[in-house]
Amino acid sequence: MPHIVCCVKQVPDPEAPASQFKVDEAAKKVLPIPGIQPVPSQFDTIGVEAALRVKDKVADTTITILTLGPDAYRDTIKHCLAMGADEGVHINDPALNEADHWATAEILAAAIKKIEPVDLIICGRQAVDWDMGVVGSTLAELMGFPVITIAKEVQMEGGKVTAERVLLDGFETVEAPTPCVVTVSNELGEPRYPQLRQIMQAAKTEVKTLTASDLGIDGAKNRINLEALFVPETAVDTEFIEADSAKEAGEQLAVRLREAKLI
């Protein structure tokens, strides 16, 4: 029975208005925006979609959602279960909350070793908050698994994963023996949206919780230090072209660009 583990993360809603984005420089943290709920990181739900497409073909596939984070991350697991995943595992321990990408990969690897055997681990290409894009491949190195990064299509069949990678000027099809890790990109397509019936069902699914001691680790062993976090200055004086009609504005824009020697 094929087993896919999808690693997911929760992030502040990236669709929130940029004007409301604020940072606490002393604490080096992004401030939550009042009234706006955090959401599953989009590349991660695309990963769940990739797993579900495998399951659509091979029905006896089990999909486990794995996350590391505080209590609120439970909503993200529930969302992924409602999408159609089978099981949820929540690593939830205050001692692990400040994990960097290295420590995150190490903790996820420890958890995956608890729920092995696994055939395929899927991660988003990067989290949409820190945009680092390293947990998936670091996890692969820690597990000793091959990895295919930035994929737009994932198939698993007969002990082999075939994935199409997105290159800057094209695509590349790569094969890897299972078990392996694949990170997925937005070109894969929109993640499916849970139906009401699935949401109700997911609400009843029990989520397994793991702590640091369950995993035999004592805290997050970070390798990278966040020294400063701030909102960069981006003030640009915009010259708005004012005209009586959009047509005239278009013409005046051309004239102004010529005057500025830009065309």
Please report, as residue ranges, which positions from 44 to 103 form the binding site for another protein (by CB under 8 A). Answer: 100-102
Q: For tokens 């029975």, name the residue.
A: 1
- Contact segment (CB under 8 A) with another protein among 56-64, 112-120, 200-208, 224-232 equals 224-232
Examine residue 256 and tell whether it contacts another protein (CB under 8 A).
Answer: yes
Examine residue 249 and tell whether it contacts another protein (CB under 8 A).
Answer: yes
* Binders of another protein in range 177-196 (CB under 8 A): 177, 180, 185-187, 189-190
Q: Are 1 and 86 in contact (CB under 8 A)?
A: no
Centroid of chain to Cα 229: 21
Helices (H), 84-176: 101-115, 135-143
**Gap between the Cα atoms of 27 and 204, Å rounded:** 37
DSSP string, 78-91: HHHHHHT--EEEEE
Examine residue 238 and tell whether it contacts another protein (CB under 8 A).
Answer: yes
Residue from 62, 75, 115, 162 in contact with another protein (CB under 8 A)? 162
Quick one: 127 or 202, whose CB is closer to another protein? 127
Nearest to 10 by CA among 150, 104, 146: 104
* Binders of another protein in range 121-140 (CB under 8 A): 125-126, 128-134, 137-138, 140
Quick one: 12 or 194, whose CB is closer to another protein? 12
123, β-bridge pairs: 7, 183
Q: Whole-number minimum distance, CB 17 to another protein, in Å?
A: 8
Quick one: 70 or 177, whose CB is closer to another protein? 177
Examine residue 230 and tell whether it contacts another protein (CB under 8 A).
Answer: yes
- Contact segment (CB under 8 A) with another protein among 61-69, 112-120, 196-204, 249-257 equals 249-257
Determine the residue type at 243.
Answer: A
Residue from 110, 115, 199, 241 in contact with another protein (CB under 8 A)? 241
Nearest to 108 by CA among 150, 73, 154, 142: 142
68, β-bridge pairs: 91
Examine residue 173 and tell whether it contacts another protein (CB under 8 A).
Answer: yes
Q: Whole-number minimum distance, CB 194 to another protein, in Å?
A: 20
Examine residue 232 and tell whether it contacts another protein (CB under 8 A).
Answer: yes
Residue from 1, 170, 216, 244 in contact with another protein (CB under 8 A)? 170
Exposed / middle / buried, residue 44 (Cβ in 10 Å: 0-12, 13-18, 19+): buried
Q: Whole-number minimum distance, CB 35 to another protein, in Å?
A: 18
Centroid of chain to Cα 153: 16
**Gap between the Cα atoms of 29 and 228, Å rounded:** 9
Determine the residue type at 76.
Answer: T
